[in-house]
Amino acid sequence: SGYPTVSGLPPRPSPGPTVPATTFTVTTTPKPAPPMVCDLNCYGVASTPVPLPGGNGNGVPADTIEACRSMCYATDGCEAIIYGKGMCWGKKDIRTSKCADGDGYVTEMLRENPWGTCSVVGDPHTTTFDARGGAAGVGPSTETEEGTYWIVKSAELQIQGFFGYSPRFPAAASLIGVAVTGALIQNHELYYMYVGPEGTLGQDGFAAWWDSTPILNNGFPDTYEDQFIEAIYSNLDPSDFSNKARSTIGGTSGDLPSYYFIIAPGIHLYALMGQTTMNTVVTMRKLHVEMDGWCGNFDCDAPNDTLPFLIKRGVAAPVEDSVNLFKKASFVPAPLGFMVTKQGHTPSLADCSEETLAKAKRSCPSGPQQDACKMDCCANPEHGCWGSDDIAAAAITQAAPSPGPTLPATTVTV
């Protein structure tokens, strides 16, 4: 699957992560929802086949989509269908980040919602659940001002990110910390962030808490486990979590100091540590309640998660103090001075030198991610370009033995 195998958890079937074997009580029991219809073809690595009656997993004839649905509902383990051109396929573990454009086919989620991946990287650029890693033709949304923002906002799960300035990007905010809570995870609380002290660069400046208790603080590497969470602090390969995870601070290859959390019932959070900032990747199933935030509303419509729509829906601005998870947590240190003090003017492509733009053109990928990459180059011409030989990452890498988690040979980019 491309996800680390964590001690104590069963192997994860490709291509989606699974919930730990322990049974957890979730406070909200959703009623069956109407099919979630996506104009996508989630074949191959984007799903796991479920053979339908009369078939072997390679599809069966169906005159109508209603007939296709009926076959899936009558088959144990069938969560979704792909239907098109008179053929029907049963599927489970749909991963929309790997789906192709529909082109005459549709994917419907019948029993379980799909898995999605959202990444928050650089200063910071957010690639939503629906953007499919850029494959949907929609670039990331960017927020350069300091503050705490909604990453995922819903009645069942709240994920917030603190964006702050850094010595590397003094005029454009980057992700500094993440806070997670909500009824879906039994109102437990996870925090991880850079705390310093000032002058401490890299992994030694990061800290994590679970329900106000410090975790992953027994040296490097380290693990933590209880009934509701599996946590890893080790050298991991960012590319195994997202092809955006290395952006700006991750160089081009190799394992780097990282956090990886799995919270029941299946919320996956990965963090790549930079000098004083981080990149984070959220992988989870679409919720059975409305969701929004910088990671989007997860409705298979990427364009409606661009910045103008986030502003219209009221989720683009910093959160109010009354719901700010960082301010509610007395055990989390206040931001360091440089994190909330902007130095200089906000970088833009219009102010970028011709020399830097030429460098950006050479190093930045083509496609919808290109402008975000160019923006990082302009913010820090020496070390901001994606895919450069990142000295920040190289300087903090430690050759440490694995504390238990191992990476499978297959590399998955989402």
pLDDT in tens, 20-29: 444 444 444 4
User: For 48-102, where are the alpha helices, taking DSSP H only?
Assistant: 65-73
pLDDT by 10s per residue, the chain, length 414: 344 444 433 333 333 334 344 444 444 444 445 689 999 999 999 999 999 998 877 899 999 999 999 999 999 999 999 999 999 999 999 999 899 999 999 999 999 999 999 999 987 889 999 998 767 777 788 888 999 999 999 999 999 999 999 998 899 999 999 999 999 999 999 999 999 999 999 999 999 999 999 999 999 999 999 999 999 999 999 999 988 888 878 887 899 999 999 999 999 999 999 999 999 999 999 999 999 999 999 999 999 999 999 999 999 999 999 999 999 999 999 999 999 999 987 766 677 777 777 777 777 766 655 666 666 667 666 655 654 434 333 333 333 333 333 333 323 333
Residue with tokens 């033995």: 401
The sign one gets for the Cα dihedral 77, 82, 83, 84 is negative
Q: What is residue 278's predicted lDDT score, i.e. its pLDDT?
A: 95
Mean of the per-residue pLDDT values for the chain? 83
pLDDT in tens, 72-114: 999 999 999 999 999 999 999 999 989 999 999 999 999 999 9
Q: What is residue 375's predicted lDDT score, i.e. its pLDDT?
A: 66
Measure Cα distances from 176 to 65, 194, 375 in Å. Answer: 46, 6, 19
Could you give the 3-state DSSP secondary structure of residue 101? strand
Residue with tokens 């082109």: 103
Q: What is residue 250's predicted lDDT score, i.e. its pLDDT?
A: 81
Cα–Cα distance measured from residue 97 to residue 132, given in angstroms and rounded to the nearest whole number = 4
Global pTM reads 0.81
The sign one gets for the Cα dihedral 236, 240, 245, 251 is positive
* Length of the chain as a residue count: 414
Conformational region of residue 254, where left means phi above 0, alpha means psi within -120 to 50, and beta covers everything else: left
